[in-house]
Amino acid sequence: MTRHLGRIALVTLLAACGTSGGRANDRAASDTTIAPQTSKASANAELTERAADSVQAVGVPTAVADVGTHGEDLYDQAKASNWPRATAILDSLNRSASALTSSERTQLEGVLDTLGRAVAARQREAALEAANRVTFIGAKLTEAYHPKMPADIVRLDYYGRELEIWAARKDLARLSTVSADLRGTWDTVKPTEVSHGGTAAAARMDALVARLAAARTPADYGKLATPILDLVDELEKPFEK
């Protein structure tokens, strides 16, 4: 989900299955520091290995899972304005996309072009928006493979990052739409979460969703983004066993 569609878990966001603890740590670090620069070769090797390890257990093709993982990782690095690292991740993302089926690649083509331009120009806001959109599409792609991790759990991660993006831009119209989408997604996946033993985490998400419904200002929405993202890590755990 690092803020971490490795851990969708998508499946990074489902692939997100294998890295949910690290994602929470990356979230905190990306708010305050710029990650150390690494060579493209070492960065690519690390990303590919981590994404592949996290998804093989849930039956999603590695290339599909990698798309979500790399999109989420790129979001974190763009947020930290670590452009060398973001560029390395973009290279890995493009390689993973090239290994998809033609119909899968078609769903990503426009957003990858937008993301590439944003990273090259070091346009932080545009890169954040496009990277997060990659995770959303990645979550959708995993559904055809019936992953253990529900795609809607991964989508909650996507919507949590959308709250970050649009709260920072003070766009109340978009925040209202994101809030409604998040709440609808949670209503859909909550029974599955509870049936898999996630009762306590589900109760905490209910409370956050209630606060989200009551939000009126960009600051109200923004304050809920991190708690929601952190809680998604807990919601994923019943599906990682």
User: 160: burial class by Cβ within 10 Å (0-12, 13-18, 19+)?
Assistant: buried
Q: Are 107 and 60 in contact (CB under 8 A)?
A: no
Residue 149, helix vs strand vs coil: coil
Task: Label residues 35-52 b or e (16+ Cβ within 10 Å = b).
Answer: beeeeeeebbeebbebbb
**Between residues 228 and 41, the one the model is more confident about:** 228
Q: Are 77 and 138 in contact (CB under 8 A)?
A: no
User: Element (H or E) spanning 137, and its range?
Assistant: helix 124-142
CA dist., res. 9 & res. 17, Å (int): 4
**Between residues 9 and 177, the one the model is more confident about:** 177
Q: What is the pLDDT of residues 196-224, one digit of tens each?
A: 999 999 999 999 999 999 999 999 999 99
pLDDT tier for residue 240 given thresholds of 50, 70 and 90? confident
pLDDT tier for residue 186 given thresholds of 50, 70 and 90? very high
Domain positions in the chain: 9-239
Which pLDDT value is given to residue 28?
42
* Mean of pLDDT values over 90-115: 96
The two tokens of residue 91 are 């290279």
CA dist., res. 29 & res. 35, Å (int): 8
Q: What is the pTM of this model?
A: 0.79
CA dist., res. 144 & res. 41, Å (int): 31
Residue 48 has pLDDT above 70, yes or no: no
* Mean of pLDDT values over 12-36: 40
**Phi-psi category of residue 157: left, alpha or beta, with phi > 0 → left and psi -120 to 50 → alpha:** alpha
